[in-house]
Structure 1
Amino acid sequence: MIEIVEVYTDVVFLFLLVSDYVLLRLLSILTGKKAVQFRLFIGSLAASAIAWMLQFTTTGRAARLFLEGPLTGCVMLWIGFADWNKRDFLHSLFLLYFCTFCMGGFWNIVLRSRFLWHFAYGAILFAGMLLFIVLFVKKGMKIMGELVLHRSQSTEVCLKVQGKKAYCKGFWDSGNSLTDPITGKAVVLLEKGIMEKYQIPIPVKGFRVIPFHSVGMDNGVLKGFVADELSVKDENGYERCFEKTVVAIYEGKLSIKEDYQMILNPHI
């Protein structure tokens, strides 16, 4: 006797998306690795799309298991988290497999119970809708916060590097399009004199070479590094902190009147 089972592809995709996102969040908690919610969402979305497409292909079982395992796992970790080294990546990959195995056992129990399955079905749909609402609200709040922060373009800046602090005036410049060629992150520009004033050497770890254009009407490269933390406060007391910000060192003066010593990037 052949049993016909209806499969709703949208539900399968949503199931994979929520499960992958939960796995990445759980991995972030277990490893203590800081994560950006948007990156976690994109990582789970990419892995879910790969797994979803493999469910409806004629690929052999062995090949499909290989692709759904190492491939989706690597994609999730590579997109979901940044600044990996080989050892941490492999450790997190095995931990991800373990969490996936435990979650698979949980869903196996749920699928064997009709009541639990209907409950889980509704919970997944609700969790999916809630996830999108939360992400939408958080994105809106972030945009509003940036509008408040950028209302006063001149700001107080505190830079933390290797346990030392440096203070200066910052200026939000929408024309600052400097990016780190390695990570693609936005880059802020700092006068070399500030580092010398607070006797902070350029860190060897996280050293960067940043190509630039039209800074002082010159073209070339700038030395850079990754700061531990960058705190920005406007005249109204509104403060934001940015971790692992890429800082490029400029040899000259950024302002003729010396109104500011750092050019901030609105995309940090």
Structure 2
Amino acid sequence: MIKYVYGDIIFVENLLMNYLILFSTAKLTKISYKRINIIIASIAGAIYAVFYYFPGFEYLYTWLLKIIFSLFIIVVAFNPYTFKEFGRIILVFYIVSLIFGGAAFGIYYLVNGVRYSYKGIFYMESFPAKLLFLSIICSYIIVKYSWGYIISKIKREKILLEISILKDNKRICLMALVDTGNSLTDPITNLPVIVAEYEAIKEILPEEIQKIFEHNKENNLNVIASVLSRSEWMTKFRFIPFKSLGTENGMLIGFKPDAVSIEDKRSKNYVKDIIIAIYNKNLSKDGEYRALLHPEILSNYNGGKKSA
């Protein structure tokens, strides 16, 4: 039985899918791009797809040439400047292509099934516009939500670290988020600051300091000064101004611990030159972390004491 394919339909379908894949790649990688370049690359890809159905051009569709042509399309669409950037775009491009292609084929197979194949290629007798539109919507939803979830998990794995705060022979362990927006330093010593939740570290604080936070008087400087004047910790506490955490001009109470250990999968590192600022609210909605780690600490703590 003779099967007919229509070049114009193949061209339009591939042009649309190529454009969506390249556009999604640009958005996910957050690379600068020109729309005209994406259109030109999409047209080139659509022409390449049409040539498959002409006799004598089968050699263009070996695995090697397919990879080379896909790299060519990426260069035309984005003109990457570095190999690192090029590699990142390639990875995202192939992932998005698999998602779009899988969604389109899955929806078609669910509705019509596969009835004809040749040389490992599945031919669709017809691909209605409504199915194409539905596959595009499904692909967009999959890319948008699954990609965001995957990236957030990858980032969290890299920036969540377990830390221990040691003070007067007491130790508190908690999870800390490496916060690139945390640039707090002690105005007197210029030491980096870790912001920690009060509830997570209150056990290492003296009772008189706990009362300040439990009665929500940590913003009353007169009360704090009066309490500290009668406390053994008077010389250990200091005030740290900040403009974040939902407050334009705030003040945090901070203290210098005996040491802070930062632990990852490979080692445990001790830092002594650091300040702990006390925050009387939750830093994470789901309790995944209870402290904000100054990024400068990570670049410096390798010089501290290590233990296996």
Indicate the TM-score class for this superposition, using the shorter chain for normalisation.
0.3 to 0.5
TM-score of the superposed pair, with normalisation by structure 2: 0.36
Larger radius of gyration: 2
